[in-house]
Amino acid sequence: MMKEKLILTDCDGVLVDWMYSFDMWMRKHGYKIQNNASHMYSIKERYDIGMADKSRLTRMFNESAWIRKIPPHLDAIKYVRKLHEEHGYVFHVITSQTDVEYAQHLRVKNLCELFGPTAFEKFIILDCGADKDEALEPYRDSGCYWLEDKMSNCDLGVEMGLDGILMAQDYNYNYEGPGLRLNNWREIYNLITGL
């Protein structure tokens, strides 16, 4: 595997704006973000719900038809396509969504519709909330770029010998880990291409 042409990426909060769609879905189900909680990563804290409800609602959303139409994250389309079409990079998506095959299919359809049919060489779709240790293991010490929005997952990649990049979000503003926190795909593109 050649580091220069392979980028490992999370999906939600990096490629697509999962939180925006989830917030819309939650509103339709009678929930709203608590005051001063929009910067929280924890669904439990954002909506002031119990752990059982957090797990149940997240899974329901991840297995719903909404997963098919999640919008892109900021400038992701432009720069993912540029990296792929102009520089020959391919992407392996490693995401924790669901183990339901039909919902996984909707996720893949959404990504291919947004970014084109050839940018993604591989999809590793784990169950809702699953750890990414085993999924990242085949890439250990490869030096591949690893793009994440969750601080602990970014750090995990760095510990495994990957070049961790944390996509800036309100909920990871205080990151002080070993990865590099970047604001958008333009910054990621410039770093990877040396521009």
Q: Return the pLDDT at 38.
A: 83
In the predicted model, is pLDDT for residue 21 greater than 60? yes
Return the half-sphere exposure (C-beta side, CA atoms, 13 A cut-off) of residue 110.
24
Mean pLDDT calculated for residue range 3-12: 91
Burial class (CB in 10 A: 0-12, 13-18, 19+), 36: exposed
The alpha carbon of residue 158 and the mean position of all alpha carbons in its chain are separated, in whole angstroms, by 16
CB-based contact 95:10 (threshold 8 Å): yes
The pLDDT, as a whole number, for residue 3 is 63
Q: Taking a C-beta distance cutoff of 8 angstroms, is the pair 115, 121 a contact?
A: no
In tens, the pLDDT along 51-90 reads 999 999 999 999 999 999 999 999 999 999 999 999 999 9
Sequence-separated (6 or more) residues with CB below 8 Å from residue 47? 26, 31, 32, 33, 34, 37, 54
Question: Residue 163's pLDDT band (boundaries 50, 70, 90)?
Answer: very high
- Of 149, 176, 177, 179, the C-alpha closest to 162 is 179
* Mean pLDDT (whole number) for 165-180: 96
pLDDT tens, 84-123?
999 999 999 999 999 999 999 999 999 999 999 999 999 9
Query: What pLDDT score does 195 carry?
Result: 76
Sheet containing 180-182, strands listed edge to edge, beginning at the edge strand earlier in sequence: 120-126, 90-96, 6-9, 145-148, 163-167, 180-182
pTM for the predicted model, two decimal places: 0.95
Please check whether residue 103 is in contact with residue 109, taking contact to mean a CB–CB distance below 8 angstroms: no
% of the chain at pLDDT higher than 90:
94
The rounded mean pLDDT for the chain is 96
